[in-house]
Amino acid sequence: MSLLLSPLTALAERLGVSPESELLALAVTHSSYAAEHDCRSNERLEFLGDAVVDLAVADLIVNEYPELDEGSGSLVRSRVVNEASLARAAQRLNLGDFIRIGRGEVKSHGLERPSLLADAFEAVVAALYLERGFDAAKTFVQVSLGEDVASAALSPDDVDPKTRLRKWSEAGGRGVPVYDVTSDGPAHEMSFEATVSIAGQLRGTGKGKSKKIAETQAALAAWERRRDA
């Protein structure tokens, strides 16, 4: 029996997959919905989609931006393949209109959370990859994120907070920042808290709905306190 809901037809047509694609229906099924309805969630597709997105963006950087060396290309990719960027891509696709979430997520406005949107984007990419192959998935990713790559390529050294903190710490002979992350709450509504230590001293803490967000917030806090180091 197909899991597909009729509103998914528009998304299926946009992706060039069958309106009866169970993979696409699975891609928009959040774990909170799956727990309430005893069905599978999009978590495994998210895992695959993460790798597909990463490769598609790397392919775009290598082929369209030959002026970027390996280091600069890596920085550009890190600024594009992240939760905030993927969430924005999901919003441009109106992906939130299709994602199935549980009652608790509805009450807490889960569809506004960047982590949920980013995960769904990756899962949709994986569904497209499995349905139509890598070339179709690559084209979709590159069209969806092409402007983000172009913007990041204009100033590749404008790095993310974690990279910026690491470079500063290493340049001062303090070594690599060490992150420690703990989580709390049910699987479909987990929260994370991160700490970052430099040279054995606690320098920042952060919280968020994903490990990545918590670590980024901790890095920002440590960066703001760097003159106290």
Separation between Cα atoms, residue 39 and residue 35, nearest integer Å: 7
CATH homologous superfamily, domain 8-154: Ribonuclease III domain (1.10.1520.10)
Q: What is the C-alpha separation between 193 and 126, in angstroms, rounded?
A: 29
pLDDT in tens, 61-71: 999 999 888 77
> Is 50 annotated as catalytic?
yes
Average pLDDT, the chain: 87
Question: Which ranges in the chain are annotated with CATH 1.10.1520.10?
Answer: 8-154
Residues of the chain with CATH 3.30.160.20: 161-228
| Residue 83 falls in the annotated catalytic set | no
Instruction: Enter the pTM of the model.
Output: 0.68
Which is catalytic among the residues 46, 122, 131, 215? 122
Q: Which of the following is catalytic: 50, 83, 105, 119? A: 50
Among 31, 57, 58, CA closest to 42: 31
- Reduce the DSSP state of residue 83 to 3 states and report it: helix
Q: Which fold has domain 161-228?
A: Double Stranded RNA Binding Domain (3.30.160)
pLDDT tens track for 30-83: 989 898 889 899 999 999 999 999 999 999 999 999 988 877 787 788 889 888
- Residue bearing the bigger pLDDT, 124 or 209: 124
Give tens-digit pLDDT for 138-159: 999 999 999 999 988 887 766 6
pLDDT at 4: 41
